[in-house]
Amino acid sequence: MLLVAADDVAIHLASRILDQGGLVAIPTETVYGLAAAINHPNAVNRIFTVKGRPKSHPLIVHVPNTIAARRYASFFPPAAEKLAAAFWPGPLTLIVPRSTAVPDCVTGGHPTVGLRVPAHPLTLKLLQELGHGLAAPSANRFTEVSPTRASHVATDLGNELDLILDGGPCSVGVESTVIDLSGNSPVLLRPGGISREALERVLETTVLNPAEAEQVAPSPGQHPLHYSPRATVQIVDRKLIWSEARNLSKSGKKTRVFAFQSPVAQQTAEDNLDVWIMPADLNQLAQELYSRLRQADQDAIDVLVVELPTSSGMGQAIRDRILRAAGKS
């Protein structure tokens, strides 16, 4: 494995490796991706092996722009045009009917494909140089926490990759929003970097939850247990969080609290309870969350006692990830 700073030379090297059927970890604004060229089925299959992910779970195809995206769709609906114009490059994945240019191994045999133009300038350059799409799931093992720094990828998967492009810490920090546009109504399959409100503003219509939709693309990647650290994650109401943490601590469990700022939080931190005061700015919280989950494992924490944010804006994605980390979605 080679870890390199993502400059022009490194991008050229990455492009060569991908063209020859290698695996490269790429930076995106959401999380790091584990990329293979979609025209190399062996490389795409290796993604599933390295991640330990079932082959039926579809991969997102990353493209440099909307023109390239249209080539991978048999039909690129008006809603897709609107969302692409508003949010690409950016943390949004559009599920549309796939064209014959997308191999079966990428979509797990599904009739649809997930398309996204990522907003990281270096990865965009790489995609432009390549001239074909990159299949890339998050570069973590199945059900574990996604990587938001090149060092996370190196720790988890370093020995199994040909190259890791280091593009710095991810600016969004949680995965893209996944919206299904293959049926009659748009359906939110995964909350992420673009909020539901923002999607609805552009589409001028309601975006449904999977349970409300008549017809929806199955999204087997959405497991209840996902984004999970080794530590047990316990979600506790703000009022009870401190007593719960103290009880756990007294019972001998190595406990850490993730809570928002409050006089109690301040006092408790001073009392030597292990506390991370979460940033009130939810974009900043999203940016730091996965690093903090990983840090808890490095520090051999047994239990994380976590307060949920409100569900406005980025709060939807953060709540979703914390609930999944707790196995409670």
Stretch that binds Mg ion, among 44-52, 133-141, 271-279, 297-305 (CB under 5 A): 133-141
Q: How far apart are CA 52 and CA 58, in angstroms?
A: 14
Does residue 93 bind Mg ion (CB under 5 A)? no
Residue of the chain from 30, 66, 249, 316 that contacts ligand TXA (CB under 6 A): 30
Does residue 138 bind ligand TXA (CB under 6 A)? yes
- What are the angstrom distances between the C-alpha of 73 and each of 119, 160, 167, 212? 21, 31, 29, 25
Work out whether strand 187-190 and strand 232-235 pair parallel, antiparallel, or are unpaired: unpaired
Residue of the chain from 43, 126, 134, 178 that contacts ligand TXA (CB under 6 A): 178
Q: Look at residue 112 and give its three-state secondary structure.
A: strand
Stretch that binds Mg ion, among 99-107, 132-140, 165-173, 307-315 (CB under 5 A): 132-140
Does residue 95 bind ligand TXA (CB under 6 A)? yes
Does residue 186 bind ligand TXA (CB under 6 A)? no
Burial 171-185 (b: 16+ CB within 10 A, else e): bbbbbbbbbbbbbeb
Q: Which residues contact 308 (CB under 8 A, 6 or more apart)?
A: 235, 318, 319, 322, 323
111 binds, among Mg ion, ligand TXA, none (CB under 5 to 8 A by kind): none
Stretch that binds ligand TXA, among 4-12, 82-90, 134-142, 194-202 (CB under 6 A): 134-142
Does residue 306 bind ligand TXA (CB under 6 A)? no
Which residue's CB is nearer to Mg ion, number 36 or number 303?
Answer: 36
Count CB-CB contacts under 10 A for residue 129: 16
Query: x-or-dash pattern for ligand TXA, window 57-86, by CB under 6 A?
Result: xxxx--------------------------
The nearest distance, CB 133 to ligand TXA, in angstroms, is 12
Q: How far apart are CA 74 and CA 90, in angstroms?
A: 22
The nearest distance, CB 113 to ligand TXA, in angstroms, is 5
186 binds, among Mg ion, ligand TXA, none (CB under 5 to 8 A by kind): none
Does residue 138 bind Mg ion (CB under 5 A)? yes
Does residue 102 bind ligand TXA (CB under 6 A)? no
Q: Give helix 282-298 / helix 315-325 axis angle, nearest 10°.
A: 20
Residue of the chain from 18, 24, 28, 233 that contacts ligand TXA (CB under 6 A): 28
Does residue 134 bind ligand TXA (CB under 6 A)? no
Bond before 91 cis per omega within 30 degrees: no
Does residue 136 bind ligand TXA (CB under 6 A)? yes
What are the φ and ψ backbone dihedral angles of 179, each rounded to 5 degrees? -120, 130
# of chain residues touching Mg ion (CB under 5 A): 1
H helices of 148-272, in order, are 150-157, 196-203, 241-250, 263-270
# of chain residues touching ligand TXA (CB under 6 A): 31
Of residues 218, 180, 217, 222, the one with CA closest to residue 199: 180
H helices of the chain, in order, are 8-19, 41-51, 66-71, 78-87, 104-107, 121-130, 150-157, 196-203, 241-250, 263-270, 282-298, 315-325
Q: How far apart are CA 23 and CA 162, in angstroms?
A: 5
Which residue's CB is nearer to ligand TXA, number 93 or number 228?
Answer: 93
The nearest distance, CB 170 to ligand TXA, in angstroms, is 9
Does residue 31 bind ligand TXA (CB under 6 A)? yes
Q: Look at residue 113 and give its three-state secondary structure.
A: strand
Count CB-CB contacts under 10 A for residue 26: 28
Binding site for ligand TXA (CB under 6 A): 28, 30-31, 33, 57-60, 91, 93, 95, 107, 110, 112-114, 116, 118, 136-138, 175-176, 178, 189-190, 217, 219-222
